Amino acid sequence: PGIWFFDPAFMATAACDSAITYLDGEAGILRYRGYPIEELAERSTYLEVAYLLLHGELPTAEQFEQWKHDITYHTFIHENVRKRFLEGFHYDAHPMGMLVSAVAALSTFYLDAKDIFNLESRNKQIIRLIAKMPTLAAAAHRFSVGMPFVYPDNSLDYCANFLSMMWKVAEPRYEAHPTLVRALDILFMLHADHEQNCSTTAMRVVGSSHADPYSACAAACAALYGPRHGGANEAVIRMLTQIGSMENVPAFVESVKQGHGRLQGFGHRVYKNYDPRAKIIKRTADEVFAVTGKNPLLDIALKLEEIALADEYFVSRKLYPNVDFYSGLIYQAMGFPLEMFPVLFAIPRTSGWLAHWVEMLDQDSKIARPRQIYSGAEKRDYVPMDQRS
């Protein structure tokens, strides 16, 4: 039946041809559609980056106004999604579990989503998904802490609106500190795409069956829910809390070297150099802490980085801080609970997932269907139950 390559976890398999994100892990380079991540983080905004990922080019002023308008006016979710669906969860439901389910449920509200080769319908679903993710995310958080739902305030920009839905407690409106809004925008840009990671692969695999984009996106969210993917920044905070003080850092690093656990937020399957996103995040962290006050775990993190980067164990294995090492410290300083960390990853990654979904459909790709190496029993005869031992 032909030649197959055994490549569990696809470590040596390019499963598609993509023009969206360029990643050179040895050199520590990340570009979206050719634009270096450093330049985008400095000069762009999340919504512009989302447009770039999806359309391949930066928008003109007119295109951007239209894009922003469309996203802004699709931020509301159907009342039944909130009242019947989200409020039906157990009182202590994890917000990421709620998000995974709510995204899947959206496919039942937009039946036109099944028409994936109708470009008008396709674009409408893309806009709906990017627009509604912050609303669903904030609704899941408010429910899980017993706070009333806050409707979108469409006079605000994307990130400011999300922060308002998260934190608003009284009328007339909630206005987040502009430094925090910008920091969130930068974090969203850094998380928008990362080529064929686990969740994007899930989006492509499910999308290859021509499922609607909400169902495919729910699969991508589910992949992100796993601690090996979207949960690493939460693990960093737990690790730093466990270390407890700067004096304990050397002993902790030694225990990692002896094989007791891993340094969370260090190492990457593709980056064998400093993750370029981690460098940007480190700068952003200083700006955020100037407003929120320093996260007390920062000094432990800095000490840990200093010791690890000078240690032969980490140097020889090319283990550097990754995007998650500092992002959790920022989110925590901004007031987000740990359970919201994967949700904060899912919001911006939605644009990347959708860009890959569109690219895959436009390439008229086949349904994803890998083969296997069978290692089970040889042919044998059925044994009736009363004769089994």
Q: Which residues are catalytic?
A: 229, 268, 324
Which of the stretches 21-29, 132-140, 201-209, 320-328 binds ligand CMC when contact is defined by CB under 6 A?
Answer: 320-328
Which of the stretches 131-139, 184-192, 257-265, 336-344 binds ligand CMC when contact is defined by CB under 6 A?
Answer: 257-265
Among 185, 193, 324, 359, binds ligand CMC (CB under 6 A): 324
Q: Please tell me whether residue 229 binds ligand CMC under the rule CB under 6 A.
A: yes
Q: Please tell me whether residue 266 binds ligand CMC under the rule CB under 6 A.
A: yes
Q: Please tell me whether residue 269 binds ligand CMC under the rule CB under 6 A.
A: yes
Q: Please tell me whether residue 262 binds ligand CMC under the rule CB under 6 A.
A: yes
Q: Which is nearer to ligand CMC, 173 or 238 (CB)?
A: 238
Which of the stretches 74-82, 120-128, 170-178, 258-266 binds ligand CMC when contact is defined by CB under 6 A?
Answer: 258-266
Close Cβ partners of 385 (under 8 Å, ≥ 6 residues apart): none
Q: Please tell me whether residue 201 binds ligand CMC under the rule CB under 6 A.
A: no
Work out how close the CB of 37 gets to ligand CMC at its nearest, in angstroms, rounded to a whole number.
Answer: 14
Work out how close the CB of 239 gets to ligand CMC at its nearest, in angstroms, rounded to a whole number.
Answer: 10
Let me know if 380 is exposed, middle or buried by CB neighbors in 10 A (0-12, 13-18, 19+): exposed
Reported as type and span, the H/E element at residue 36 is strand 35-36
**Residue 88 — left, alpha, or beta (φ > 0 → left; ψ -120 to 50 → alpha)?**
alpha
Close Cβ partners of 67 (under 8 Å, ≥ 6 residues apart): 47, 51, 59
Q: Please tell me whether residue 267 binds ligand CMC under the rule CB under 6 A.
A: yes
Work out how close the CB of 267 gets to ligand CMC at its nearest, in angstroms, rounded to a whole number.
Answer: 2
Q: Please tell me whether residue 319 binds ligand CMC under the rule CB under 6 A.
A: yes
Cα gap 321→304, rounded to integer Å: 10
Among 69, 83, 84, 317, binds ligand CMC (CB under 6 A): 317
- What letter does residue 321 receive in the DSSP assignment? B
Asked whether 72 and 154 are in contact (CB, 8 A), the reply is yes
Q: Please tell me whether residue 329 binds ligand CMC under the rule CB under 6 A.
A: no
Q: Please tell me whether residue 239 binds ligand CMC under the rule CB under 6 A.
A: no
Work out how close the CB of 327 gets to ligand CMC at its nearest, in angstroms, rounded to a whole number.
Answer: 9
Cα gap 42→38, rounded to integer Å: 6
Q: Which residue is nearest to ligand CMC (CB)?
A: 267
C-alpha closest to that of 20 among 389, 362, 383: 362
Q: Please tell me whether residue 67 binds ligand CMC under the rule CB under 6 A.
A: no
- What letter does residue 146 receive in the DSSP assignment? T
**Amino acid letter, 327:** S
Q: Please tell me whether residue 279 binds ligand CMC under the rule CB under 6 A.
A: no
Among 121, 135, 197, 351, binds ligand CMC (CB under 6 A): 197
Close Cβ partners of 139 (under 8 Å, ≥ 6 residues apart): 77, 82, 86, 102, 149, 165
Cα gap 45→225, rounded to integer Å: 25
Q: Which is nearer to ligand CMC, 66 or 242 (CB)?
A: 242
Q: Please tell me whether residue 232 binds ligand CMC under the rule CB under 6 A.
A: yes
Helices (H), the chain: 37-43, 46-55, 61-72, 79-80, 95-106, 119-144, 158-167, 178-190, 198-207, 213-225, 232-243, 249-257, 276-292, 298-309, 312-316, 324-333, 341-362
Q: Please tell me whether residue 265 binds ligand CMC under the rule CB under 6 A.
A: yes
Q: Please tell me whether residue 202 binds ligand CMC under the rule CB under 6 A.
A: no
Q: Which is nearer to ligand CMC, 68 or 229 (CB)?
A: 229
| Number of amino acids touching ligand CMC (CB under 6 A) | 18
Write the interaction track for ligand CMC spanning residues 14-43; mark x where CB under 6 A is met and - where it is not: ------------------------------
Q: Which is nearer to ligand CMC, 144 or 197 (CB)?
A: 197
CA atoms within 13 A on the CB side of 254: 5
Helix (H), strand (E), coil (C) string for 234-287: HHHHHHHHHHCCHHHHHHHHHHHHCCCCCCCCECCCCCCCCCHHHHHHHHHHHH
Cα end-to-end span (Å), the chain: 37
Which of the stretches 31-39, 54-62, 172-180, 321-329 binds ligand CMC when contact is defined by CB under 6 A?
Answer: 321-329
Q: Which is nearer to ligand CMC, 132 or 194 (CB)?
A: 194
